[in-house]
Structure 1
Amino acid sequence: MLTVYWKMYVHSKEEDNITRYPALDQMTDNPFHLWEDHSEESSMLTLATGFLSDEQFYIISLFMIYSSQIINICSIIANSLSIAVFVKLGFSEPSNISLTALAVCDFTLAVLYTWCNLCFWLTYHNVRLPFHSANVSYLTGGAQFAFLSTTVAWITAFISFERCLCILVPLKVRRLITRRGTFVAILIIILFTFCPSFFTYIRYKFVWVFNPYLNRTILNTIPVNSEFAILLEKISLVICGVIQPLLAFSIVLICTVLLVVQLRKISSWRMSVTSVKGQQGQLEKNTAASSSAAEARISQKEERLVRMVVAIATMFIVSYFPTCITLLCYVIFDEFNMFGVYRRLSLVSSHITSLGQPVSGSVNILIYYKMASKFRSVFRRLVRLDRQ
Structure 2
Amino acid sequence: MITRRRIVLVIMLMTMYQAVFAVLIYVQTGPPYHSKSKKRIIYLLCSLTAPSFICFFIVVVATSFLVINLKQTMKNRSKISSSTSDKGMSKERKVVRPVIFICAIFIVCFFPNVSKLLATIVYPKFTLLDPYLGWLSNIFYTITPVFQSISSSTNIFVYYHMSTKFKETFRAAFCKEDVKS
TM-score (norm 1): 0.38
Shift of 1:315: 0.7
Q: 2:114 — aligned with what? A: 324
Q: Within 5 A, what are the aligned runs for 1:274-289?
A: 274-275=81-82
Deviations 1:186-233 (A, max 9, x none): 34334435x467449827xxxxxxxxxxxxxxxxxxx8138xx95653
Structure 2 residue 177 is matched with structure 1 residue 353: no
Deviations 1:289-341 (A, max 9, x none): xxxxxxxxx99877654433222211110001111222222223354213321
Q: Structure 1: which 5+ residue stretches go unaligned?
A: 1-175, 204-222, 279-297
Of 100, 112, 129 in structure 2, the residue corresponding to residue 310 of structure 1 is 100
Structure 2 residue 72 is matched with structure 1 residue 265: yes
- Count of residues paired in the alignment: 172
CA contact (8 A) 2:160 2:166 kept: yes
Shift of 1:262: 0.8
Q: Within 5 A, what are the aligned runs for 1:149-188?
A: 176-188=1-13
The 2-side partners of 1:314 and 1:357 are apart by 13
CA contact (8 A) 1:249 1:317 kept: yes
Q: Within 5 A, what are the aligned runs for 1:73-222?
A: 176-193=1-18, 195=19, 198-199=22-23, 202=26
The alpha-carbon distance between structure 1 residues 277 and 371, as it changes in their structure 2 partners (threshold 3 A), is: closer
- Matched letter for residue 202 of structure 1: Y
Of 338, 363, 387 in structure 1, the residue corresponding to residue 128 of structure 2 is 338
The 2-side partners of 1:192 and 1:301 are apart by 40
Deviations 1:77-114 (A, max 9, x none): xxxxxxxxxxxxxxxxxxxxxxxxxxxxxxxxxxxxxx
Of 148, 153, 159 in structure 2, the residue corresponding to residue 362 of structure 1 is 153
Of 164, 174, 178 in structure 2, the residue corresponding to residue 383 of structure 1 is 174
The 2-side partners of 1:272 and 1:236 are apart by 53
The 2-side partners of 1:200 and 1:344 are apart by 32
The 2-side partners of 1:353 and 1:255 are apart by 23
Identical counterparts, % of pairs: 27
Q: Structure 2: which 5+ residue stretches go unaligned?
A: none
TM-score (norm 2): 0.74
Q: Larger RCO: Structure 1 or Structure 2 (Cα < 8 Å, ≥ 6 residues apart)?
A: 1
Shift of 1:177: 1.7
The 1-side partners of 2:5 and 2:158 are apart by 26
The alpha-carbon distance between structure 1 residues 259 and 386, as it changes in their structure 2 partners (threshold 3 A), is: farther
Structure 2 SS opposite 1:355: helix
CA contact (8 A) 1:335 1:343 kept: no
The alpha-carbon distance between structure 1 residues 200 and 383, as it changes in their structure 2 partners (threshold 3 A), is: farther
Shift of 1:377: 1.7
The alpha-carbon distance between structure 1 residues 377 and 350, as it changes in their structure 2 partners (threshold 3 A), is: same
Report which of the two has the higher share of strand.
1
CA contact (8 A) 2:53 2:114 kept: yes
The alpha-carbon distance between structure 1 residues 350 and 224, as it changes in their structure 2 partners (threshold 3 A), is: same
Q: Within 5 A, what are the aligned runs for 1:8-19?
A: none
